[in-house]
Amino acid sequence: MRQLQRLLNQHCFWARDRSLSGLQCMLRGSSAIVTAWRQDDTLVGFARATSDGVYRAVLWDVVIANDEKGQGLGRRLVETLLSDPRVAGCERTYLMTSQSRGFYERLGFQSVTTQNLMRLDSHTGSAEPDRPEDDGQGLANGGPSAETVSRRLP
């Protein structure tokens, strides 16, 4: 759990400072989880999905450690997640991304331009901040901070 916390802290601007109890709750509430490990038992990849098993699934928190990027690991991680029965059985799978659109397009996803991404933050003080500038991209074109991408089963 601490390795997951570290991986998210280091590589996911949207998932920093998640508590261990919060992460445990997150894992329990996920429908499918895929991890990638180095031989020395270091966690280097993580991805998860929530799903109703029939109509809609959403991918969350897809990440590969910096020193393992660019070797096809991210593709394998997402393909494994998509092949999980809880995700593969859904008629449509969504995800949100602010800087990895090309990565997901290579996996068959396409940008959704006909819908708006909307959000409602909790008032408990634990809501994730929406800071697209943190990923180095900013809002250069004044567009939304995250794009919704969907993949339909053939």
Ligand X SMILES: CC(C)(COP(=O)(O)OP(=O)(O)OC[C@H]1O[C@@H](n2cnc3c(N)ncnc32)[C@H](O)[C@@H]1OP(=O)(O)O)[C@@H](O)C(=O)NCCC(=O)NCCS
Site of interaction with ligand X (CB under 6 A)? 11-12, 62-64, 69-75, 95, 97, 99-100, 102-103, 106
Give the Cα separation of 72 and 53 in Å (integer). Answer: 27
Q: How many CA within 13 A on the CB side of residue 12?
A: 23
State the Cα angle at 57 between 111 and 48, rounded to 5°: 95
Nearer to ligand X, 64 or 82 (CB): 64
Nearer to ligand X, 72 or 129 (CB): 72
In angstroms, what is the minimal distance from the CB of 141 to ligand X?
Answer: 16
In angstroms, what is the minimal distance from the CB of 107 to ligand X?
Answer: 8
Nearer to ligand X, 12 or 88 (CB): 12
Task: Give how far the C-alpha of residue 112 lies from the chain's centroid of Cα atoms, to the nearest Å.
Answer: 17
